[in-house]
Chains A and B, each alone.
Chain A
Amino acid sequence: GAVVSQHPSRVICKSGTSVKIECRSLDFQATTMFWYRQFPKQSLMLMATSNEGSKATYEQGVEKDKFLINHASLTLSTLTVTSAHPEDSSFYICSARQGNNEQFFGPGTRLTVL
């Protein structure tokens, strides 16, 4: 299957700082990428859908000014958590698809905000 990578795998930051998470499709062109958030012992919740070259579509309750998503190329999407707070600590997982094909998940990024 197709491979999706995320970087970094783990990040610890101080409250008030910004953190950028990268999601890359390594062997296919991802026209769409999805960003999910998973709190401890909970399910994955869709945060936003990102189509290459256009603005991301955010789910209800997700602040677009806090979670900045950029999908500037067919192989890279970034999620920037701005002014992070401890309640933003979570496991962030991206997935990517080409056209209407199956989506493939990245390994996730563990964010801890102190």
Chain B
Amino acid sequence: AQSVTQLGSHVSVSEGALVLLRCNYSSSVPPYLFWYVQYPNQGLQLLLKYTTGATLVKGINGFEAEFKKSETSFHLTKPSAHMSDAAEYFCAVSEGSGYALNFGKGTSLLVTP
């Protein structure tokens, strides 16, 4: 079985500050890990994913995440928050490419001026 836990349902940062959204996973097989962003009343947009290989993954909009097997973590970061980053962020895990995803409960990011 696979699952992810997102720590913090709400995160608030100032514009220009570091964004850190936490995700820990549980998996009995080598995981594929994903971060998605969802704007209100819209579908999901893939930010980045980890499959195999390099543990530091760079995604769109300046986001990146690092796979740490020893910590079972896949935290999402961005050096400098923009107002447009305000959205809901979901971490997800799957057994492989194309498999159904198990999503975390989501973290709502608020960016203040």
| Residues of chain A having any CB pair with chain B under 8 Å | 1, 6, 32, 34, 41-46, 49, 91, 93, 95, 97, 99-103, 105-108, 110
Contacts and interface: CB of A to CB of B under 8 A. Distances in A.
Nearest to B91: A43
Sort chain B's interface into a size bin: 10 to 19
Nearest to B42: A107
Given A93-B43, A105-B44, A108-B42, A43 B90 contact: yes
B31 interface: no
Contacts of A105: 36, 43-45
Main secondary structure of the interface of B (DSSP, over half): loop
B54 interface: no
A99 B99 CA distance: 10
Given A32-B98, A49-B100, A43 B42 contact: no
Most buried by B among A95, A97, A105: A105
A103 to B, nearest CB: 6
Contact of B90 (A44, A103, A107, A110): A44
Given A44-B90, A93-B43, A103 B105 contact: no
